[in-house]
Structure 1
């Protein structure tokens, strides 16, 4: 008996888990079930007590909406031009380092972004090279921390430009926190035989994760190929981390230099990520940036920083007419995206959400997450009685007194 076309392949075996998931929360549970404990802990950890991590999501719950009962639009649009690029939905891939939750890592994420018509952000701490990722998704933004001297940074910008990056993201919303109330996850310097033996008790309980890597004949890669000097070897993640820790922090003059250097080299957009104050947003405009991302590094910067969505409206009101304003932090649902757009974001970036999808089901899992957000945005637009994300504004939300922070 052949399987009917309408019956999914997984349904032939009731003991085989359906690879599709219906929410980001389910993707997170799948990721936790599949990944070794230290790997999963690295995805969810925030700095110190985790106050900011929690507030990033709690703040979205405080915002209400007032749907209409009739007069809805049969067709709704969520396409938009962001950083000069037409995207099919206002959700971009935020750059995150070393995506060793899946053998294909950043390449799988890039393919998913390309398939769903959005932009890929690639960290210079990534486990895959900028050349591989741009090939998988030609609309890739390259992200850099302020690490190394200016000559080194220019070399890295030149490489990203040669590879075809369509923009540069400078991430400055990151500080080093020694104290995590739940303990820092154990991340080895490199994965070799000695490391495998030492971590075997934790990894052996996750055979499916091991099998994924075994099929490829490769071990999880914890190096940073995009930080390799010309003709040299890629540093380990901790080698890259040491370079960041020993580089003097940037000034606003350094930000302006970085922006002008990229402009002369590429002429494509420059994004400053990590803005959380109105005065900093205005300084960013003065430095010549094309866009800013309101962000607290997903709760991995200074703990106690308010949720990014609380900071968004004051910042977008102050500078939204001069630069594009993006936001990242705590987005898990399409309704979260709609709330951020109503408060002035041109688009949002997601991080943990797609990493859970990647861990749960590779490229298809990332596409699944983007589809969930797409469907949630469409549902919210329908209920609110608007035909396009361009019609979203604060009056569509129930905003409690004192919600905004500035």
Structure 2
């Protein structure tokens, strides 16, 4: 086995911390304000327990699934993240790794690589958009994504103006000029392997966001694009429905944490939602996404695909999310640590760690396929779930309208519309 291989996401994080300059690493791990949501995203998974079997276990397991219009080899997708200066190859390396492991990638509109290059590296690329600028501006970005061959759209709404951190935010320059290079020189010198990666490419870390403009136009900086986003009024549900009407294909709305908004997303015509709190970088004090997942899956899981992101660190975490109603999960920090630790190979390693963990957990649970998982496979504490924006009456009405219950999650009587 190669000495560069790591056997856990925790080890990938340790290697990333050792390799990256402190300011770059701190940008990856931080959450907003006190970090309550960031911590809960992780600790909530620890509260869930399994109900394993000891005999009659399946000799083979099927990890593949169909999500967002594509077959994937495992129920783990790459979530879009902003400028990936942790490695010179950035999103292209991530795209190649995802393709090598048979899964899809989301490319952020604030990413550092052009969508054309990313699609060439992985045909199963979804383009992520923020509601930034006018409808015409957004339409032009969609047209470029369509022409490049993007297979779907991700609209991210779980990012507000909350950006303060109790432990401070790292300094991120507008662009890397001579003055900024001098400022970062001590960090670069003390992390020579990261610096050498860029020296070999003969270029500096690129803080531009090329997918916000047409090819050939002047590329704005990350903070230039961020400033435009801050000045754009937040979208309405009518705006979401309009954007959905502009894309004929898979459309994922990322950022749903409430049952009532999950229903509004269905009404807007989206094909999938991701239960998300932006990895703890939105409103601090929001519950972990895995706590909100069961109620949302109950409410709309029969109408749209339900995904989850936030806190995935092990294959067993993926299994817990699937058991509680997710079709698949998206990962963010985990693959960025892999990218920092070993480029494309490091991201492939992260996906292998998750794949192996999913497989071994399925074996212990006596499941032949990820599609066989259900709430009976996990032990959920009584105070675990956080149902936001929902009500018992709404659940009863939903049960009657669909003439279906999920007895494995709640005992129910469709005739009396009662829930216990």
TM-score, normalised relative to structure 2: 0.91
Give the aligned partner of residue 23 of structure 1.
8
Deviates more, 1:378-387 or 1:196-205: 196-205
Give the aligned partner of residue 302 of structure 2.
321
Q: CA deviation at 1:230?
A: 5.4
**Could you list the per-position Cα deviations for residues 374-397 of structure 1 after superposition, in whole angstroms to 9, with x for gaps in the alignment?**
000000000000100111000110
What's the secondary structure of 1:118's corresponding residue?
coil
Cα distance between partner residues in 2 of 1:325 and 1:217 = 43
What's the secondary structure of 1:77's corresponding residue?
coil
Question: Which of 197, 218, 223 does residue 212 from structure 1 map onto?
Answer: 197
Question: Root-mean-square deviation (CA), in Å?
Answer: 0.8
**Could you list the per-position Cα deviations for residues 20-70 of structure 1 after superposition, in whole angstroms to 9, with x for gaps in the alignment?**
111000000000000000000000010000000000010000000011111
What's the secondary structure of 1:204's corresponding residue?
helix
Cα distance between partner residues in 2 of 1:190 and 1:391 = 50
Query: Does 1:38 pair with 2:48?
Result: no
Give the aligned partner of residue 166 of structure 1.
151
Give the aligned partner of residue 362 of structure 2.
381
Whether contact under 8 Å (2:163, 2:282) holds in the other structure is: no
- Number of residue equivalences: 387
Cα distance between partner residues in 1 of 2:260 and 2:272 = 15
Cα distance between partner residues in 2 of 1:110 and 1:33 = 24
**Could you list the per-position Cα deviations for residues 250-305 of structure 1 after superposition, in whole angstroms to 9, with x for gaps in the alignment?**
0000000010011xxxx211110000000000000000000000000000010000
Question: Which of 244, 263, 285 does residue 282 from structure 1 map onto?
Answer: 263
Q: CA deviation at 1:192?
A: 2.0
Q: CA deviation at 1:203?
A: 2.1
**Could you list the per-position Cα deviations for residues 196-246 of structure 1 after superposition, in whole angstroms to 9, with x for gaps in the alignment?**
111212221100000000001010000000012454211000001001100
Query: After superposition, where does 1:304-319 map in structure 2 within 5 Å?
Result: 304-319=285-300
Question: Which of 290, 297, 303 does residue 278 from structure 2 map onto?
Answer: 297
Give the aligned partner of residue 236 of structure 1.
221
**Could you list the per-position Cα deviations for residues 90-111 of structure 1 after superposition, in whole angstroms to 9, with x for gaps in the alignment?**
0000000001100000000000
Q: CA deviation at 1:84?
A: 1.4
Distance change (3 Å), C-alpha of 1:114 and 1:193: same
Give the aligned partner of residue 107 of structure 1.
92
Query: Does 1:342 pair with 2:323?
Result: yes
Unmatched 5+ residue regions in structure 2?
A: 388-420
